[in-house]
Amino acid sequence: MLENRSFDCMLGRLYPKSAEYDGLAGTEVNPAQDGSPVRVWNSPGTDENTMRIPNPDPGEVWTDMNTQLFGVNPIPDPKAVPPMNGFVKNYQMQTDQPPASYVPNLVMHYFMPTQVPVLSALAQQFAVSDRWHASAPCQTWPNRFFVHTGTAGGDEYNSPSDLPFEMMTIYNRIDDKGVTGGWKIYFHDMPQTLTLANLWRRLDGFRMYEEFKHDAQYGTLPAYSFIEPRYFADVDLPNDQHPPHVVTKGEQLIAEVYNSLRGGPAWTKTLLIITYDEHGGIFDHVPPPPAIPPSKTVTEPFNFDRYGVRVPTVIVSPFIRPGTVARPSGPIPFDHTSILATLRKRFELGDALTPRDDVAPDLDSILNLATPDNLGPDHLDALPFVASPADIARAKAIPLNDLQKSLIRLSTLIPSDANQVDSHLAMLRAGGAAGAGDIDVVAAQTAQDATKAVADIKARLNTLFGSL
């Protein structure tokens, strides 16, 4: 799961727009604040500046997304059809950078297949879905919660101060059912999945990303793997594709994951899903429909009764016919809880975790070959981009985005001792965790020094996991 890109941005021009593929026609527009039309566009080339568009980062919190969908700030009726006409206006409303930085057309930019050749090649060789929505019109944490738990627990923001998050996870269900092979979460720097307190007693399931490549090579991958990208500039640039991070770095990660699986002994029984948490404020023309709330308890101000904007999703398996455009058979779109529905079906994990994944269409219909005949290319090469020490230094000097700040705050609230999880949970529940009241102060300090932020995170994770 990568970060903050809309379907139109990454795959809108994969195929010509038609009834069979709901991509971009190239004529879509959004009004600017002065009422002038701003059309979708492409900047040719693959230089660093092009592959960072949009820069600076668009708005991505729930109130931003309401404006992007409806052009207004008030809470909309869940049955209302969003006109998708507020992306440019909302971008112009951002205040993190000087107003002139928010050039109106940046959020209307899309990439051509030649600029994202790995994602595009996999989409054409296997399956792409033009009916996959983020689970909610919210930022990163809520949407990542949906893929792990089927709910955001009522939180529409990245909210470390709301820890502990104690929703039942699909990983706990895999453990409870004794699935052969179990699960692993492979991460690069700070795993966002450490937000989930029900995983704190299973820290052995968290592994560094390099171990994924080893496990793929030797056929020792678990039944279910989840890969988190690099969120911070450290030994290399971030590869999560979160604007304004270089998209090519994410392409290199996708290629590496595919090549590791393709060259391993378990390829013919592997399903790879490549998706994104949410659209990150970048234009998409398809209105997100109403959704089944994940809980019978109504949450305010948002009841999670609408899906988020479409995100790029590519499904890869030797059991998929080349050129497949994946759509669910009924009116409910694919979303992140479709992964949960698929896991429950594949591994007989029992009832749904929430009402949302109970209605989610699974991915079984996408596997449209009776035998694993579509082996795919032996190897894929991403576009070249090697970050120099100067590139990394510049990246560390950029102010941290909201996700990075939230992960720093998270690192201050995780247990410091794997043997003290119960007492740590009790302290968090009572609101008495050390430093909890100073979370925002910590974030403000570390946001000014990304090098210090990464060093602090490493120190805390080393304390929890042992040497990383």
| Cβ contact 273:128 at 8 Å | no
For 360-411, where are the alpha helices, taking DSSP H only? 389-397, 402-411
Calculate the average pLDDT of the chain. Answer: 93
pLDDT at 198 exceeding the cut of 80: yes
Neighbours of 408 (CB within 10 A): 26
The pTM score is 0.95
Topology of domain 1-413, per CATH? Answer: Alkaline Phosphatase, subunit A (3.40.720)
What confidence tens digit (pLDDT) does each residue in 212-267 have? 999 999 999 999 999 999 999 998 999 999 999 999 999 999 999 999 999 999 99
pLDDT at 24 exceeding the cut of 60: yes
Position 437 scores a pLDDT of 43
Assigned token pair, 204: 């052995």
Residue 270 buriedness (CB in 10 A; 0-12 / 13-18 / 19+): middle
Position 78 scores a pLDDT of 80
Give the bridge partners for 183, in sequence order.
224
What is d(CA 79, CA 369) in angstroms, rounded to the nearest whole number? 37
Before 164, cis peptide (omega within 30)? yes
Residue 458 buriedness (CB in 10 A; 0-12 / 13-18 / 19+): middle
Q: In what order do the strands lie in the sheet with 206-208?
A: 206-208, 183-187, 224-227
pLDDT band at 435 (very low <50, low <70, confident <90, very high): very low
For 361-434, where are the alpha helices, taking DSSP H only? 389-397, 402-411, 421-429
Of 163, 173, 174, residue with least CA distance to 197? 163
Q: In 3-state terms, what secondary structure has residue 99?
A: helix
Of 125, 127, 116, 135, residue with least CA distance to 314? 127
| Cβ contact 50:244 at 8 Å | no
pLDDT at 395 exceeding the cut of 70: yes
What are the residues whose beta carbons fall under 8 Å from the beta carbon of 468, sequence distance 6 or more? 208, 458, 461, 462
Q: Which position has the token pair 């089927």?
A: 150
Neighbours of 460 (CB within 10 A): 20
Q: How far is CA 384 from the centre of its chain?
A: 23
Q: In 3-state terms, what secondary structure has residue 258?
A: helix
Neighbours of 106 (CB within 10 A): 23
Of 7, 278, 5, 281, residue with least CA distance to 131? 7
| Cβ contact 308:288 at 8 Å | yes
- Integer-rounded Cα Rg, in Å, for the chain is 21
Position 27 scores a pLDDT of 97
Domain residue ranges in the chain: 1-413
pLDDT at 447 exceeding the cut of 70: no
Can you give the three-state secondary structure of 78-91, one letter per residue? CCCCCCCCCHHHHH
Q: Bigger pLDDT: 451 or 289?
A: 289
What confidence tens digit (pLDDT) does each residue in 71-85 have? 977 777 888 999 999
Please tell me which of 95-99, 157-161, 309-313 the model is most confident about, judged by mean pLDDT: 309-313
Which strand (E) or helix (H) includes residue 128?
A: strand 127-129
